[in-house]
Amino acid sequence: KQSGRNTACYFDPEMQQHIENALLLEEDLHRDQALGFQQLELYYQPQVDVFGKVQSVEALIRWQHPVRGTVSPLEFIPMIEKNGQILAVGLWVIRQACAQLLLWAQHPKTAHLTLAVNVSAKQLADPSFVDQITQILYDTGARPELLKIELTESSVVENVEQAIKTMQALRALGLELSMDDFGTGYSSLSYLKRLPLSQLKIDQAFVRDLESQADSLAIVQTIIAMAKTLKLKVVAEGVETLGQKECLAMQGCELYQGFYFSRPLTVADFELYLNVQDA
Ligand code: C2E
Ligand code: MG
Ligand code: MG
Ligand code: MG
């Protein structure tokens, strides 16, 4: 009772529960790492062109926890970024993605698909990152030009010079580079011009308010115009309605990703989605 204000939170049962959960997850992930990431799974969300044809896919990680069910990456990625496990998990994601590309290369319906993976700041800053990707491409035999790396502005601005070097090395390998959540970060034109990107992803916040807020429409128009000037492709994420898609198409957006087309799917469901599209 005599302890100060600062310790009050230790007795807040909700906070206590939250901390315990986080610790438990962390322990579980350590154990799982020993098992070879058996509880981790990639989900796939289609990116479609203006005709609705799937051109590309984003891999999104899920943790199938035996007791807690599916754990969102929003919950466990920040945790493993702090404790360093992101490096091993990140490599697992890329290896898994490349193996999937190789499977898709064998079927005419999937051979054209490019596959995007998310990479966090810690991975981009890891001096062995490029060598490790080179090794994975070599081991799996996946075509590098079908692999796309999604970065965020915050992971680049931490150390712009180093990030540019790494990005150039990845481009030299043949990979595509996409700037995720674009418009929410720093977006300084002067450094954007220097980044060897192939694509910008319009953040879902702007897509959400596209039809209701003039500001968002103006931002989307600016991003698309900027992308065209810099010769970058544009993907809109978080497309949930036909209205949003049509509005984006009117502005010249070429690729769309969002619940309106499909949620992220297991690989089996994704392949069903492709077949349904054909029917
Ligand atoms: P992100 O890369 O920006 O991925 C887009 C997120 O938006 C995904 O959430 C996706 O499920 C969600 N989304 C897609 N379409 C819609 C829509 O129409 N409406 C709404 N409301 N949401 C939509 P998810 O799968 O929960 O992933 C969250 C974030 O976790 C990702 O954001 C990414 O930053 C991170 N993440 C996911 N997988 C990985 C990974 O393998 N490695 C790393 N480092 N981060 C990952
Ligand atoms: Mg992404
Ligand atoms: Mg995003
Ligand atoms: Mg996001």
Residue 51: per-residue pLDDT? 94
pTM above 0.80, yes or no: yes
Instruction: Tell me, in angstroms, the distance from the centre of ligand 4 to residue 69's CA.
Output: 22
Residue 192: per-residue pLDDT? 86
Low-confidence ranges of the chain (pLDDT < 70): 1-20, 22-24, 32-36, 187-188, 279
Residues 6+ apart with CB under 8 A from 218: none
Sign for the CA dihedral angle at 89, 65, 83, 116 comes to: positive
Nearest CA to ligand 1 atom 34: 118
Instruction: Tell me, in angstroms, the distance from the centre of ligand 1 to residue 74's CA.
Output: 8
Instruction: Tell me, in angstroms, the distance from the centre of ligand 1 to residue 118's CA.
Output: 9
Ligand 1: residue of 41, 60, 119 to mutate (most ligand atoms within 8 A of CB) is: 60
With a 6 Å cutoff on the Cβ, whether 118 touches ligand 1 is: yes
| Token pair 């697992």 in the structure block, residue | 92
With a 6 Å cutoff on the Cβ, whether 180 touches ligand 1 is: yes
Residue 62: per-residue pLDDT? 94
Is-contact 122 84, C-beta < 8 A?
yes
